[in-house]
A and B are shown apart, each in its own frame.
Chain A
Amino acid sequence: MLKLESLCKSYGSIKAVDNISLSVAPESLTILAGADGAGKSTLLKMILGLVKKDRGEIYLDQEPIGSDFSKITSITGYMPEQFSLYTDLSVEENMNFFSDIQQVPRRRREDLKQRLLEKTGMLPFKKRRAGALSGGMKQKLALSTILLSSPDIIILDEPTTGVDPLSRIEFFNIIEDLKHEGKTIIVSTPYLDEAEKGDDIVFIKNGKIIKQGSIQSLKENFPARLFRILPEGNIFEAIESIRADDEITDNVYMRGRYIKYMQGGTAGFIDRIPAKEVKKVSPTLEDIYLYYERNIHAG
């Protein structure tokens, strides 16, 4: 549906987006994962022409769009990281206002408004002032407003940053529903736990792609064996003492009360880690990120 080819953007000597290529399949959920400053927002803005690309091409349904962003912007709903709601207006008034802006026909308006607020769980708060909503609810209202134009493509820039874990899960459930309704969705996030809900993922760091692919295949083809180890005693002390061992130091990291050990090749050193319990586990996206990021540093 959407294809980016060799996109580049520099600000002075800083390469914010450095040769990024990716394809987005129709009716899929693509996750753009990376820390603050990785280049996620710049990339998303380039897709919509909000930031001018230095180099590269964007294809919409196989057609290069060149510098004409009218088609893509007309079918895309975009929620920036710093979205704007009118805090003095109620939830419903915000929806009316954005319906005007997006020129939603009057006869469809009531029904659409009702349906969207219901979908995002905001219907009970219709009369509440937007300024009095919690962070998670504001996010859901902002999402509702961009859905008013019935976009085919939805681009959400860090919709859940700073949002608590429960609201994050709820927000991603709504996003999944939208995908099942046929929307093509791109979401950027620094949280890899919620990224697990995506179909495809692109890990970016310093403007570059570290690794990309379908989440399922990245998991199935994870090149190392992964173990979860419950250490004897304090986790930090355990990590410190393992780090003194050159042969395994790069292969271990902590995750909650556990140590994760990635064993590449055949030679294992797992017996060098004092453990109360050892279990072979499947990789999460965080493990995958750490694996490929580490390999980049090593190479």
Chain B
Amino acid sequence: MQVEDIIRVNELSKKFGAFYAVNRISFNIHRGEILGFLGPNGAGKTTTIKMINGLLRITSGNVFVKGLNVKKQIKQIKAFTGYMSQKFSLYPLLTSLENIEFFGGISGLSRKEIKKFQQQIEDTIPIEILKQKIMDIPPGIKQQVALFTCLMPDPDIIFLDEPTSGVDPKNRRDFWMQIYKLKKAGKTILVTTHNLDEAEYADRIIIIHNGKIIRQGEPSSLLKNENMDSMEDLFKKAVTDDETN
């Protein structure tokens, strides 16, 4: 199968003061894949995602999304990308339906289109819950609503930053089934997680540490190459190898 690089990251860096949060990293994201982005806290994961999404200024290097330059054409890029941030930024005092209306409005959807999205979510979540304030609903549902808002209007590329943090084991699995459905619908997905068992659900993973890429590849081949049984072990080895070097 022909691999098409839908995102190209080239020598990307971000400097805060004298500190390089991201240090000349290069990688590509293939169209239609789930790419798992792993690394310790402060490794540069969120910083990288924010730069790709035009939310943080790039210190040096380049990012091209579908051939468009993030530094110059971010408005066009935003039209086909969705971003679910850490701690999903829904408005706690609004209900789920109101949040959808709000985020739909921001995405420039018409009233009619927003209505359609609201009806869609009513198919999966009971209406009584959708009419409750976000602050009062369980985290598993909050997470579903957050994912839903990031899928408006209909992005090709989806960024999920720690979507399963603080979510119970059952909901974590249900959430991954949804991610897989999005992949089957042709979406490209970049996801970060601290739950290493989930890394195996990705087509490829990248491990970053101190702003640099220390491993990348298919989970199964990485495990095989390093003769490791679990992602936990691989992660531990990759980080300690890097620290002792």
Contacts and interface: CB of A to CB of B under 8 A. Distances in A.
Q: What size tier do the contact residues of chain A reach?
A: 35 or more
Interface string B212-237: 00000001100000000011100110
Nearest to A139: B41
Contacts of B136: 14
Given A162-B194, A165-B194, A256-B200, A36 B167 contact: yes
A239 B180 CA distance: 11
B180 A35 contact: no
B39 interface: yes
A164 B40 contact: yes
Given A37-B139, A190-B166, A134 B42 contact: yes
B171 interface: yes
B171 A164 contact: no
B125 interface: no
A34 B41 contact: no
A55 B216 CA distance: 54
B167 to A, nearest CB: 6
A261 interface: no
A35 B42 contact: no
A290 to B, nearest CB: 6
Contacts of B235: 165-166
Given A35-B168, A205-B168, A162 B40 contact: no
A206 interface: yes
A240 B174 CA distance: 11
Contacts of A293: 168-170
Interface string A155-172: 000000111111100000
Interface residues of B, number: 38
Interface of A: 14, 34-38, 134-136, 161-167, 190-193, 205-206, 235-236, 239-240, 253-257, 286, 289-290, 293-294
29 contacts: A34-B168, A35-B140, A36-B139, A36-B167, A38-B168, A134-B42, A135-B42, A136-B40, A162-B86, A164-B40, A164-B43, A164-B194, A165-B40, A165-B194, A165-B235, A166-B239, A190-B168, A192-B169, A193-B232, A206-B138, A253-B170, A255-B197, A256-B198, A256-B200, A256-B231, A257-B219, A290-B169, A290-B170, A294-B170
Given A254-B176, A256-B201, A257-B220, 18 more contacts: A35-B138, A35-B140, A35-B166, A35-B168, A38-B168, A162-B86, A162-B162, A162-B194, A165-B232, A167-B40, A190-B166, A190-B167, A205-B168, A255-B197, A256-B197, A256-B199, A257-B200, A290-B170
